[in-house]
Amino acid sequence: MGSNATALARIQNTTRQFLMFGIVGGSGTVVNLIVSVISKKVAGWTAGISEHDVFLPLLGTDFNIRWFNIFMTIAFLVANTWNYQLNRSWTFRGIPQRTWWRGFFPFLLTGIGAFIVSQIVATLLMNPTSPIALSSEIFDDSSGLRTKFYWATAISIVVAMPVNFLVNKLWAFRKPRRGTRVVSEQSPV
C-alpha cells in the first residue's frame, strides 16, 4: 500500500473511531445528565440542598465550591467509568489493550483534564456575574428544561469532548509498548 493509501486509511480509521467515540460520549452524556439530575433531586429531597448552595468556601477568597460542583463530580465518575468500558469493548476493541485497571487510570486522568475544563465552563455559565452566564430570565429553574444547572452541565460536556477524544486516542487507548502485558480478546463460547 502506498503512502497516500496508508494516510487515507489512517484518516478513515480515525474518523470511524471519532464517530464511535462520539456515540459512546453521547451515551455517557445521557448517563452524566441522569446522574446529575438524580444527585440534585436526592440532595434536595433528603437534605433540602440546592445546587446553588455553598458546599465549601475556599479559604481566604470570595469563591466557593457549590453543590452543583459536587453533583457534577459524582456524575463524572459514573459516566467516566461507563465511557471507558464502552470505548474499551467497542471503539478501540481492535487495539491490543492493557489490563482493565492499567487502561482505566490513563482514561480517568484524561477524563479529569476534560472534567476540569467542564467545571470551569459550568461555573462560568452558572455564575450570574460571568460574561458567559446563562440568562436567569430564561433559565429560572422553574422547570426541568429551564434549570440552569442542567444546561450548564450539558454545554460543559460538549465543550470538553473534542479534547477528551484526542488525548484518549493518543494516550489512554494507544498501542501498548513492548513488554506491557496485553489482554487478548476471547470470543464467548
Residues composing the chain: 189
Strand segments, DSSP code E, in 47-182 are: 54-57, 64-66
Enumerate the domain spans of the chain: 3-172
pLDDT, tens digit, for every residue of 67-84?
999 999 999 999 999 999
pTM above 0.95, yes or no: no
Query: Of 40, 91, 89, whose CA–CA distance to 68 is shortest?
Result: 40
Given the DSSP bridges, would you call strands 64-66 and 54-57 parallel, antiparallel or unpaired?
A: antiparallel
pLDDT value for 183: 52
Tens digits of residue pLDDT in 131-146: 999 999 999 999 889 9
**173 pLDDT above the threshold of 90:** no
Other CB atoms within 10 A of residue 153 CB: 27
Q: Which runs of E-coded beta strand occur in the chain?
A: 54-57, 64-66
